[in-house]
A and B are shown apart, each in its own frame.
Chain A
Amino acid sequence: MDLPHGVMILVGILFIGLAVVKDYEPLLLLPIGMGIVVGNIPHASDMMLGVYQDGFDPVTGQFDPRNASVLSFIYFGVKFGLFPPLIFLGIGAMTDFSTMLSNPKLILLGAAAQVGIFMTLIGALLIGFTSKEAAVIGIIGGADGPTSIFLASQLAPNLLGPIAIAAYSYMALVPVIQPPIMMALTTKEERRIRMKAPRNVTKREKVLFPIIAFLICALIVPGALVLIGMLFFGNLLKESMVTERLANTARTALIDIVTILLGFSVGASTEASKFLTTQSMLIFGLGAISFAVATAAGIMFAKFMNLFLEEKINPLVGAAGVSAVPDSARVVQMVGQQEDPHNFLLMHAMAPNVAGVIGSAVAAGVLWSRFM
């Protein structure tokens, strides 16, 4: 056991501690934390225990299953981008787009928050990352773990571990990162703005929405086809009401299984010699900037929209434009209620929140189309 591996094991235990003691995103941080611990236990190289022992001969490219570890088979779903679309299927099957359908202008906040992705891309390029790496680092600002992993697996597999850990860490830290930015960019009066209750949405609208939205997204950005297709497919399963069993499986058993496998194998991929590098630290730094810029962009765009709207938007709602569903919407509710305990912003914040999921998948599609 050397120092780097010891440090990583401590990081894994810290993640488990945050999940168990602080209840920070336990469904993500606990599997990732345990994966980090497992992936950093030193072992003899001929024992076939590591994630990176995938059975492929580095010279000939021949596959020999006797040289592949069990962890590498689980990691296959991450490495080849299989898990993220399945998670999007589950997200679609559990997401209610009603608040978005009832107040379509809030969708634009989900677009504004994607500014963080592209600003960080430029920043990462300037400090020396390659274009593909910069694109993958930028997508952390979308605060969307599956999208980050999907794009990393396609464009920069070498950065998959740091990208996944950074994305999920910042998602777990939404309640810590976002409130100071929200307080700094809004006045007390703005935080007290009450928004009109959303209208009722008919079943027909809910059923037609995933089909229409999918066609718009896929025809303009075919690169987003896989993620967006699975997201809206899951939502159609839910809203059609004729495939309740499938929808139920997608939003419970399937997404749980994939989350376990993804979290654990991503954690196990953070083997110290590959993870504890200057590059990883830079990725963490840029990821934080990306996330902060995305939050600020959403808030500022809400304030900009208020210049033209008669019924004002509470600018806090703009912060939910980063995906991180539903945590960033909950943070909006929490900060809003600190100023006015009778102001209920949660349902309004869910609109830019789910729009942010679509926005970050579209941004990933644009970047994938550019660099594939």
Chain B
Amino acid sequence: MTIPSFLLARTVNLSQAGTLLASSAELTAVEAIGLSLIGISVVFVVLSLIALAIGTLPKLLETFDPWIPRLHGETPADSPPNPAEALPARERRIVAAIGYVLHQEMMKARNDQDASTV
């Protein structure tokens, strides 16, 4: 791929020393594109690994359940629920809706004072 000349013309400092991730020199536009690709790839890799770990965690916990000590204050109710005992989807939706309305009303009552964006 050819890099447009206007990109190259905007080079801030033409120092090419060092590698992309170790050099403290100013970036050229081409290096910035490389850094951006590496950067977003790293973000995806980290979050994908977290997603993978989370996805496999329930199965691992189930497999090793006999050998894992109970947490302080953990009750059998904290264990994964039996799907047959779970609420039907319709009732879960009703519970969620009631919870949402209660939440909204409580937020209004508190004038939203605790809802800072961070």
Q: Does A91 belong to the interface (CB within 8 Å)?
A: yes
Report Cα–Cα, A100/B55, bound state, in Å. 10
Does the CB pair A204–B38 fall under 8 Å?
A: no
Please report which residues of chain B, range 30-71, place their CB below 8 angstroms from some CB of chain A when the two chains form the complex. Answer: 32-33, 35-40, 42-55, 57-58, 61, 68, 71
Q: Which residues of A contact B93 (CB under 8 A)?
A: 197
Closest Cβ neighbor of A346 among chain B residues? B100
Q: Which residues of A contact B78 (CB under 8 A)?
A: 202-204
Report Cα–Cα, A3/B54, bound state, in Å. 56
Interface residue from B39, B71, B89 paired with A363 (Cβ < 8 Å): B39
Does the CB pair B117–A171 fall under 8 Å?
A: yes
Report Cα–Cα, A119/B100, bound state, in Å. 37
Q: A131-B12, A200-B80 are in contact. Are A108 and B44 (CB under 8 A)?
A: yes
A185-193, A265-273, A322-330 - the one binding chain B: A322-330
Does the CB pair B35–A370 fall under 8 Å?
A: yes
Report Cα–Cα, A28/B71, bound state, in Å. 38
Q: Does B84 belong to the interface (CB within 8 Å)?
A: no
Does the CB pair A344–B96 fall under 8 Å?
A: yes
Does the CB pair A325–B117 fall under 8 Å?
A: yes
Q: Does B105 belong to the interface (CB within 8 Å)?
A: no
Contact with B along A199-216 (1 / 0, CB 8 A): 010111101110011001
Does the CB pair B100–A344 fall under 8 Å?
A: yes
Report Cα–Cα, A202/B59, bound state, in Å. 12
Does the CB pair A125–B48 fall under 8 Å?
A: no
Report Cα–Cα, A145/B52, bound state, in Å. 28
Q: A200-B80, A241-B73 are in contact. Are A27 and B116 (CB under 8 A)?
A: yes
Q: A197-B96, A220-B45, A359-B43 are in contact. Are A125 and B29 (CB under 8 A)?
A: yes
Interface residue from B7, B97, B115 paired with A326 (Cβ < 8 Å): B115
Q: A205-B61, A369-B21 are in contact. Are A111 and B48 (CB under 8 A)?
A: yes
Q: Which residues of A contact B44 (CB under 8 A)?
A: 108, 111
* Size category, B interface: 35 or more
Report Cα–Cα, A4/B117, bound state, in Å. 30
Q: Does A37 belong to the interface (CB within 8 Å)?
A: no
Q: Does B110 belong to the interface (CB within 8 Å)?
A: no
Q: Does A61 belong to the interface (CB within 8 Å)?
A: no
Does the CB pair A121–B35 fall under 8 Å?
A: yes
Closest Cβ neighbor of B49 among chain A residues? A216
Interface residue from A105, A200, A221 paired with B51 (Cβ < 8 Å): A105
Please report which residues of chain A, range 319-372, place their CB below 8 angstroms from some CB of chain B when the two chains form the complex. Answer: 323-327, 342, 344, 346-347, 355, 358-359, 362-363, 366-367, 369-372
Does the CB pair A208–B57 fall under 8 Å?
A: yes
Q: A204-B78, A366-B42 are in contact. Are A122 and B33 (CB under 8 A)?
A: yes
Does the CB pair A108–B51 fall under 8 Å?
A: yes
Nearest Cβ distance between residue A223 and chain B, in whole angstroms? 10
Nearest Cβ distance between residue A39 and chain B, in whole angstroms? 22
Interface residue from A209, A240, A363, A369 paired with B43 (Cβ < 8 Å): A363
Which of B49, B79, B112 is the most central at the interface, judged by chain A CB atoms within 10 Å of its CB?
Answer: B49
Does the CB pair A111–B43 fall under 8 Å?
A: yes
Nearest Cβ distance between residue B57 and chain A, in whole angstroms? 5
Report Cα–Cα, A128/B32, bound state, in Å. 13
Please report which residues of chain A, range 100-128, place their CB below 8 angstroms from some CB of chain B when the two chains form the complex. Answer: 100-101, 104-105, 107-108, 110-111, 114-115, 117-119, 121-122, 125-128
Report Cα–Cα, A163/B80, bound state, in Å. 45
Q: A121-B32, A203-B78, A362-B42 are in contact. Are A327 and B117 (CB under 8 A)?
A: yes
Q: Which residues of A contact B45 (CB under 8 A)?
A: 220
Q: Does B24 belong to the interface (CB within 8 Å)?
A: yes
Report Cα–Cα, A129/B80, bound state, in Å. 53
Q: A122-B36, A197-B89, A202-B79 are in contact. Are A91 and B46 (CB under 8 A)?
A: no
Does the CB pair B29–A122 fall under 8 Å?
A: yes
Nearest Cβ distance between residue A351 and chain B, in whole angstroms? 10
Does the CB pair B26–A126 fall under 8 Å?
A: no
Does the CB pair B80–A212 fall under 8 Å?
A: no
Does the CB pair A104–B29 fall under 8 Å?
A: no
Q: Which residues of B contact A (CB under 8 A)?
A: 7, 10, 12, 20-21, 24, 26-27, 29, 32-33, 35-40, 42-55, 57-58, 61, 68, 71-74, 78-81, 86, 89, 92-93, 96-97, 100, 111-113, 115-118
Q: Other than the known A131-B32, A242-B72, what 7 A-B pairs have Cβ atoms closer than 8 Å?
A: A104-B52, A117-B39, A204-B74, A324-B118, A342-B97, A347-B96, A359-B46
* Cβ contacts A to B, 10 pairs, < 8 Å: A23-B111, A101-B54, A118-B35, A125-B32, A203-B74, A205-B61, A209-B54, A216-B53, A325-B117, A344-B96
